[in-house]
Amino acid sequence: MIQMITAMSELGAGTRGASLGYAAIRSASLNSDPRFFRKYTPKKVETNNALLFEHVNSPYGRRIKGIVRMYRRLAAVVAETLDDNRFPVVISGDHSNAGGTIAGLRHVYPTARIGVIWIDAHGDLHSPFTSPSGNMHGMPLATAIGEDNRDCQINKPKQGTIKSWEQLKGHPRRVVPSDIVFIALRDTEAPENHLIDKYGMKVIRVEEVRDKGAESTVHTALEHLKACDVLYVSFDVDSLDPSISDGTGTPVPDGLNEKEAADLLVALARVPRLCCLEFTEINPLLDSKRNSMGEAAFRLLKQTVESLEEREKVIPAVHHPSK
């Protein structure tokens, strides 16, 4: 059974509005399927967005103490959902929340290999030692693999920031670095490229998705992650081309079209090892086409959930292979 979870923290973003992502999707649902969120009533994770009004004391890990709290809260809800044999579908504000989702998966699967499929224009592999902006939504994968990347260090974070960063990383690391597949990646910086090359992370570009199709793309991703026990998919709407909508914090040209994204998500939802899926970075305040991103995200969410429901008819509940 599917359990929707909303975690509308936007502490990790550089622009405001991602906390309204669920509201944008829910509003879009009223025009096409007003019963959807009555059927899939979300669990709400408490946020710390009031911290946005306070002075930033950690410029290389902005609002990092609040992010630590969000990791703990979201991890607890994700873990509880899986323990109840429900499939968590997370709708989150900014992408920093994904680190908390992964922490929840690790709690439930303490010895399993967790494979990550990151559908995103960005690598999100920075740390407080390498980030040019200090925005935490560019760091969740680095926390998941426990990587400071001091080979590429450009910043000298304060001790308080480093302490909070160590709390975010967790010990031991939650994900083996090579167990990451990027889809639609097209805007990375040198420190991120260094880690991708160092650890042999798989990168599938938009052109490859377009040439080979969704089924072949998913097969390639699964082949790379064949040693993993469970899989997690994180879908950032900036993987989509801005022609669909610019309602996200960091839109990048030459992205996926809506059908390509839908085909990928539907195919991934059928995979038996998939244990969690996340939608993130919908920002209606930045949408120049009214609520077009919310509408596109809802269409994608609905198709994905329908595919999950079909899978659930075949695969009973959620498995705990290494619990």
Q: Spell out the domains of the chain, with CATH numbers in brackets.
A: 2-314 (3.40.800.10)
State the angle between helix axes of 64-83 and 159-169 in degrees (0 to 180), rounded to the nearest 10: 10
Contacts 24+ apart (CB under 8 A), 187-191: 187/121, 187/122, 187/250, 187/252, 188/122, 188/123, 188/125, 189/123, 189/126, 189/132, 190/152, 191/125, 191/126, 191/130, 191/149, 191/152, 191/154
Structure tokens at 285: 């305040």
Question: Rounded CA gap, 118 and 101, in Å?
Answer: 13
Determine which helix (DSSP H) or strand (DSSP E) holds 193, and give its type and residue range.
helix 190-199
- β-bridge mates for residue 240, sequence order: 256
User: How far, CA to CA in Å, does 203 sit from each of 58, 178, 186, 242?
Assistant: 32, 11, 10, 21
CA-nearest of 310, 309, 213 to 264 is 213
Q: Are strands 114-119 and 230-236 parallel, antiparallel or unpaired?
A: parallel
Structure tokens at 221: 């991703």
pLDDT-flagged residues of the chain (< 50):
318, 322
Terminal C-alpha separation, the chain? 19
pTM, entire model: 0.97
The pLDDT of residue 313 is 83
The pLDDT of residue 129 is 98
CA of residue 285 relative to chain centroid, distance: 20
Task: Please enumerate in sequence order all residues whose Cβ is within 8 A of that of 154, keeping only pairs 6 or more positions apart, or say none.
Answer: 129, 130, 132, 191
Phi and psi at 231, nearest 5°, equal -125, 145
CA-nearest of 310, 144, 111 to 234 is 144
What letter represents residue 99's amino acid? G
**Could you read off the pLDDT of 202-261 as tens digits, one per residue?**
999 999 999 999 999 999 999 999 999 999 999 999 999 999 999 999 999 999 999 999
Query: Looking up tokens 């022609």, which residue turns up?
Result: 243
Question: Rounded CA gap, 101 and 73, in Å?
Answer: 9
